[in-house]
Structure 1
Amino acid sequence: MTAGLRYEAATERRTWMLSTLRSVGFLSVVDLARQLGVSQMTIRRDLHALENGGHVRLVHGGASLTARALRGAGFTEDDDAEGREGVAAFAVELAGETDTIAIDAGATGHAVARALPDDFGGCVVSHSLPVLQYLSEGRTERVVALGGELLPGRHAFVGPTTEAATAQLRVRTFFLSPCGIDARGLYAHSSAEASVERHLMDIADDVVVVVTREVFRASAPTRIATLDRMTKLITDQRPPAELACALRRVGVVPHVVGG
C-alpha cells in the first residue's frame, strides 16, 4: 500500500488491518494512521471495533491478531495461530534467563517475542519492526534494533545497514522462522531478508528454527541456508517424509509440540 493513501470506508480499513496483521503479527497505531491516511483517533476506533468483534487483541501502542481472527470469515481455516503460540512457548524455554538472543521477522517471530517470560533479563536482537515495537515497552532488559531499509509486507529491516549492524554482535540463540522449508534447505520470500537471516545465523551459537505446519506446504524463492545450519527444529506437526529423512542425515531431531 502506498503511504498516505486514504481509506474512507471503515469496513475497507478494517479488512486491510486484519489482512496485514496476518502477515506481520503486530501493527502500531502510528503506523496505521500514516499508511491509511486517517487520524490516530480513527484508527483507535477501528481497533476497538475489531477487538469487540474478537478479531484483535489490543496492546500498548497497537494491536495483534487473535487466534479466532485467523479462522474467521475471509481467512483460511487452520490451526496455525494456536500452533504458532505453542511452538513459540516451547522455543523460549531454550533461552536462559540472561541470554542474548535474536528473533526473526514475521508472525512466528512476533509470537516468540510475546512468549518471553516476564522475568527474562537478557538481551533481544531483531530486525523485525513488530518485535521491536512490542519489546520497546520495557518487556525485557535490553533490545538491540537492527535498522536499515524497511521491507514492505514483512515489516522487517534489510539491506547493507542492517547486515553491518550484526558485525560486532554475538547471540546465544537465533530463533529463525523461514517462510518455507524442504529437504534442500530453508527459504525466504526475498533475497534481502535471506541475507539478513544468514548474517544472524553467522553470529549465533545455536540456530533454532521455529515453524508451524504451513511452512512445510509453502513455497519461497530464496534459499537462506541448507538444513545443516540449524541446531534444532521446533514445529507443531511432524515434517513430511522426505524432509524428515534429510533432517536425520544432518542430525536434527524435530521437536513436535503437541504431537
Structure 2
Amino acid sequence: MTGDATLRYTSAPHRREAILRRIEVDGYVAAADLVTELGVSSNTVRRDLRRLAGDGLIRAVRGGATAADASAPPFADRSGQAADAKRAIAAAAVRHVQPGTAVALDSGTTTLEIAKLLPVDAGLTVITHSLPAIAVLAPRPDITLIGIGGQYGRDTRSFGGPETLAALEHLSVRTLFLAATALDGSGVYGATPYEAETKRRLIAIARSTVVVGDARKFALSAPIRVCGWDAAERLVTDGVPAGFSGVETELAR
C-alpha cells in the first residue's frame, strides 16, 4: 500500500466507509485483510468493526465481518419455522440412508429432524458437529456416534473452526445431509466463512451429498457461496421456484 493510501485511511470515517464498501461487494471481509488494505493496526480495525456493528451496519463474526442482514436467526428461532415442512423433508431424506454405512449430518434444524428419524438397528455410523444432533443420537446404542468438536457457536449450536476442519480431514462417509442458509439456481449458500468452510470439508469427505432445505430458503440470501449444484446428488425440499433445474429434486409431501 502506498503512503498516500495509508494517509487516506487515518480518518476513522474514511476507514469505515471503505470497510462498508468492501462488505457490500464481497459480503464478507477478514480483519487481517483490512489491516493490510487500510494500513492500520489490528486494534484499530477491531475498534472500527465494533463501532460499525454497534451502529447496526455490519455483523461482526469470528475473524472479520459480514453484511448486517447476512446472519441467520438463532437456532431456537429457526427450529419453529416451517416445522411441518422440515419433518416431511427429513422423512424423505432418511430413505436415502443405506444400512451399514457412515452418514454425516451438517448443523441445522432440518438435519436435526433427520437425526431424530434415522432408522433403528441399521448399523449406522454418524458423524456430526451439531450439538443438538449429538444430544439426540448419544443415547442410541445402535448408532456409532462420532462428535466433531471445535469452537462452539451459540447461534448455530454447532462446532466450527480449524479444530473441526482438522478432525474431518481424515474421515469418510457414504452420505452427507447438507443444510443451507440460502439456496438459488446456482447453488448453496452459508452465513459465515467458517460455516461455509465446514460445509465444504463435509462435501469433500462424502461420496454422496443430499442438500436438505425448505422452500423458504430460495427467498433468503446469504453472503458466502458454499458450492454449486454439481457438488450435490439431489435436493430434498418441499418446493422450488418455477424453472429451477440445478439438480435432481425430490419434493417432500
TM range (shorter): 0.5 to 0.7
Q: What's the secondary structure of 1:225's corresponding residue?
A: strand
Q: What's the secondary structure of 1:120's corresponding residue?
A: coil
**Equivalent residues, number:** 180
Tell me if the contact between 1:123 and 1:140 (Cα under 8 Å) persists in the aligned partners. no
Query: Partners in 1 of 2:148 and 2:221 — Cα distance?
Result: 27
Match of 1:189?
A: 191
Query: Partners in 2 of 1:154 and 1:148 — Cα distance?
Result: 13
| Cα RMSD after superposing both structures | 1.5
Following superposition, the deviation at residue 20 of structure 1 comes to 5.0
Q: Could you list the runs of 5+ residues in structure 1 that have no partner in the other structure? A: 1-18, 26-69, 71-77
Identity among equivalent pairs (%): 32
Tell me if the contact between 2:236 and 2:252 (Cα under 8 Å) persists in the aligned partners. yes
Query: Partners in 1 of 2:116 and 2:229 — Cα distance?
Result: 27
**Structure 1 pair 121–188 and aligned structure 2 pair: CA distance change class (3 A):** same
Confirm whether residue 255 of structure 1 aligns to residue 250 of structure 2: yes
Match of 2:76?
A: 21
Q: What's the secondary structure of 2:88's corresponding residue?
A: helix
The 5 Å alignment of 1:1-259 reads 20-23=75-78, 25=79, 70=80, 80-138=82-140, 140-237=142-239, 239-242=240-243, 244-245=244-245, 247=246, 252-258=247-253
Query: Partners in 2 of 1:159 and 1:118 — Cα distance?
Result: 32
Following superposition, the deviation at residue 214 of structure 1 comes to 1.4
**If the length of structure 1 is used for normalisation, what is the TM-score?**
0.66
Match of 1:12?
A: none
**Structure 1 pair 20–226 and aligned structure 2 pair: CA distance change class (3 A):** closer
Q: Which runs of 4+ in 1 moved over 4 A?
A: none
Larger Rg: 2
Following superposition, the deviation at residue 128 of structure 1 comes to 0.5
Following superposition, the deviation at residue 187 of structure 1 comes to 0.5
Query: Partners in 2 of 1:111 and 1:139 — Cα distance?
Result: 19
Query: Partners in 1 of 2:108 and 2:149 — Cα distance?
Result: 16
Following superposition, the deviation at residue 152 of structure 1 comes to 2.2
Match of 1:73?
A: none
Q: What's the secondary structure of 1:117's corresponding residue?
A: coil
